[in-house]
Amino acid sequence: MKAQKTCYLLDMEAQKTCYLLDMKAQKTCYLLDMKAQKTCYLLDMKAQKTCYLLDMEAQKTCYLLDMAAQKTCYLLDMKAQKTCYLLDMAAQKTCYLLDMKAQKTCYLLDMAAQKTCYLLDMKAQKTCYLLDMEAQKTCYLLDMKARLVRWAGHTGSEASYWLIGPLFFFGIYGAGTDIKEDKEKKEEQEKKKEEEKKEKQKKIEAAMAVPIAILDCDLLLHGRGHKTMDRFDLDSVSDQYLLTTFGFPREFILSLVELLREVLCRRTQRSRAISPEVQILAALGFYTSGSFQTSMGDAIGISQASMSRCVTNVTRALVEKAPQFISFSRDACSREQSIQEFQRVAEIPGVHGVLDCVQVAIKAPNSEDSSYVNKKGFHSIGCQLVCDARGLLLSAETCWPGGLKDTEILERSSIYKIMQTTEDGWLLGGRHYPLRKWLLTPVCYPESPAEIQYNLAHAATCEIVDRTFRAIQTRFRCLDGSKGYLQYSPEKSSSILLACCVLHNASLRSGLDAWTLERTEALEQPETCEQCPGDEDPESENIRKELIMKHFS
């Protein structure tokens, strides 16, 4: 029992020791594990903090570098802009200074040229005045000498009778020697007078050589001498001559003079100022003949330079009067009369006018500008015309480059804006124009008899604008190219064309030209087109169909 008790106590002691050792080992392991976890946590937190600090440092460094780069780029950009601005301002300033210098140089050269011309003109006038005074003085002296000679010859016979008696008796008394000496002295005096007369004649011939040299220099510079020609007198020629030479009768020319007199009368210091009558005749002669200005200038007694100025002045004056003679805006009575006249032509109702674009050949503006080359390959200006049934122009826009299409000219023209707001009526245009509510074009592929009849009526009515321009070209030969293209800039050529249109309307209004509405030849079917531009407008198609069904079925 004692052994069992001892064993039990020892076993309990061993279990207790094992338990304590196990608990101590577990506690040691737990503490070591917790210490390891704490160490790992601290190391992890330290690593995270280190990484965070490094990341923040990297971000801060990148941000600072980025801001520095942006600041550097901004400063460089601002510096570049400032440099460009300064260079641009310097370039502008340089160009401005060069331009001002060029203008100043041109102004000084122009003033120098004017001063030179003025001095030469004054010198020429002074030379002519001195030569004229010398000629008058010479004529006066010669006239006085002739009178003196005639007087001496007339009175010499009487004096000889009075002297013969004394000399006869003086010779008897031995005075013959003195008479002989007096005779020799008289012969010597006459010989001296003859020599002086020859020297004076040589001086006169030398003086007369000066104006001849001036005329020769002028011939080299201008092609003709400055000869004084008799100015054209309107009252000295017949009505037939005016009509054949200048294209208009006397009454129309006189009315044109009264219309433009105020514009053409200008103050001048010239002794032979060109009258409005001569200026208008010069311009009409150029418009209707198309000949060179030199030949027409000679016909009316002015130089080529004066002829050019006359054409410019009259053209400018007629262009200023264009709104008075060419206007689409009319009163209701005039519009209704025009509509009825169009309906008499081919039974198309509601027509305000017919539209077309024509080309007038001009010289090439320059080698690089191709905007004035038309589809036929030559330089021209485009002119859009609208006329009524009598050929009176309602609109004439002559300022378009020949390279533009007819549709482009129409869309840019003033008549396009006017017709957009017109509620009733329409214009007629060729197949190259688009169909619009206010612009009737032919049917591209007519199928029904009504459409064919409409096309025939459309062609007959549109022919009026072609006849109108042919009439303008026939009267104003400067436009038809028979004497060559217009040798002017596009701007001046446009003004000349508009001036001719003004004269055409003025002659129609004055009743000079008879215009017939009745046709003498048969109607012809117009050619069909492959594709009509702008025919996709359903509303315009319906308007044309209703018109065809109502009036041509």
Closest by CA to 289, choosing from 231, 233, 248, 235, is 248
DSSP element (H, E) containing 381? strand 380-387
Question: Cα(311)–Cα(293) distance, rounded to whole angstroms?
Answer: 9
pLDDT at residue number 146: 57
Q: Number of C-alpha atoms within 13 angstroms, CB side, residue 422?
A: 22
Q: How far is CA 397 from the centre of its chain?
A: 14
Looking at this protein, which amino acid is placed at residue 383? C
Between 477 and 273, name the one with better pLDDT. Answer: 477
pLDDT at residue number 165: 41
> Helix 239-246 vs helix 276-289: angle between axes, to the nearest 10 degrees?
50
Range of weakest confidence among 30-34, 101-105, 259-263: 101-105
pLDDT at residue number 512: 77
pLDDT at residue number 160: 40
pLDDT at residue number 238: 86
pLDDT at residue number 190: 85
pLDDT at residue number 343: 93
DSSP element (H, E) containing 492? helix 490-509
Closest by CA to 546, choosing from 440, 427, 433, 416, is 440
Which residue has tokens 């018109």? Answer: 547
Q: Please tell me the pTM assigned to this model.
A: 0.58
Confidence of residue 174 (pLDDT cuts 50, 70, 90): very low
**Structure-token pair, residue 524:** 């012809």
What tens digit of pLDDT does each residue of 414-458 get? 999 999 988 789 999 999 999 999 999 999 999 999 999 999 999
Mean pLDDT of 86-97: 68
**Structure-token pair, residue 182:** 């007096």
Confidence of residue 494 (pLDDT cuts 50, 70, 90): very high
Question: Cα(489)–Cα(502) distance, rounded to whole angstroms?
Answer: 20
Average pLDDT value over all residues in the chain: 78
Mean pLDDT of 25-36: 84
Q: Which strands sit side by side in the sheet containing 380-387, from one edge to the other? A: 393-401, 380-387, 351-361, 426-428, 439-440
pLDDT exceeds cutoff 80 at 460: yes
Confidence of residue 109 (pLDDT cuts 50, 70, 90): low
Residue 353 phi/psi, 5-degree rounding, is 180, 170
pLDDT exceeds cutoff 80 at 27: yes
pLDDT exceeds cutoff 90 at 465: yes
pLDDT at residue number 176: 47
Closest by CA to 356, choosing from 421, 420, 413, is 413
Range of weakest confidence among 246-255, 316-325, 433-442, 519-528: 519-528
Mean pLDDT of 103-126: 65
**Alpha-carbon torsion (371, 374, 380, 383), positive or negative:** negative
pLDDT at residue number 11: 82
DSSP element (H, E) containing 146? helix 2-172
Mean pLDDT of 101-110: 65
| Length reported for the chain | 553
Q: For a pLDDT cut of 90, what percent of the chain falls above it?
A: 38
Closest by CA to 93, choosing from 85, 105, 83, is 85
Mean pLDDT of 331-337: 90
pLDDT at residue number 159: 41
pLDDT at residue number 405: 94
Q: Where are the domains of the chain?
A: 128-222, 234-320, 330-551
Confidence of residue 261 (pLDDT cuts 50, 70, 90): very high
Residue 316 CB neighbour total at 10 angstroms: 15
pLDDT at residue number 476: 94
Closest by CA to 272, choosing from 307, 229, 316, is 229
Q: Are 503 and 318 in contact (CB under 8 A)?
A: yes
What tens digit of pLDDT does each residue of 502-526 get? 999 999 999 876 554 444 444 455 5
Q: Are 323 and 433 in contact (CB under 8 A)?
A: no
Residue 14 CB neighbour total at 10 angstroms: 10
Residue 364 phi/psi, 5-degree rounding, is -65, 125
Question: Cα(432)–Cα(529) distance, rounded to whole angstroms?
Answer: 9
pLDDT at residue number 402: 93
pLDDT at residue number 102: 64
Q: DSSP 3-state assignment of 305?
A: helix
Name the pairing type of β-strands 426-428 and 439-440. parallel
Confidence of residue 237 (pLDDT cuts 50, 70, 90): confident
**Alpha-carbon torsion (59, 63, 66, 68), positive or negative:** negative
Q: Are 238 and 249 in contact (CB under 8 A)?
A: no
Q: DSSP 3-state assignment of 78?
A: helix
Mean pLDDT of 358-369: 86
pLDDT exceeds cutoff 60 at 252: yes
Question: Cα(524)–Cα(463) distance, rounded to whole angstroms?
Answer: 11
Residue 494 burial (CB < 10 Å; 0-12/13-18/19+)? Answer: buried
pLDDT at residue number 523: 47
Question: Cα(425)–Cα(353) distance, rounded to whole angstroms?
Answer: 9
**β partners of residue 358:** 383
Mean pLDDT of 32-51: 82
Question: Cα(100)–Cα(82) distance, rounded to whole angstroms?
Answer: 26
Q: How far is CA 57 from CA 46, 69, 72, 116, in A?
A: 16, 18, 22, 84
pLDDT at residue number 268: 60
What tens digit of pLDDT does each residue of 381-426 get? 999 999 999 999 999 999 999 999 999 999 999 999 999 988 789 9
What tens digit of pLDDT does each residue of 153-163 get? 444 444 443 33
Mean pLDDT of 171-194: 66
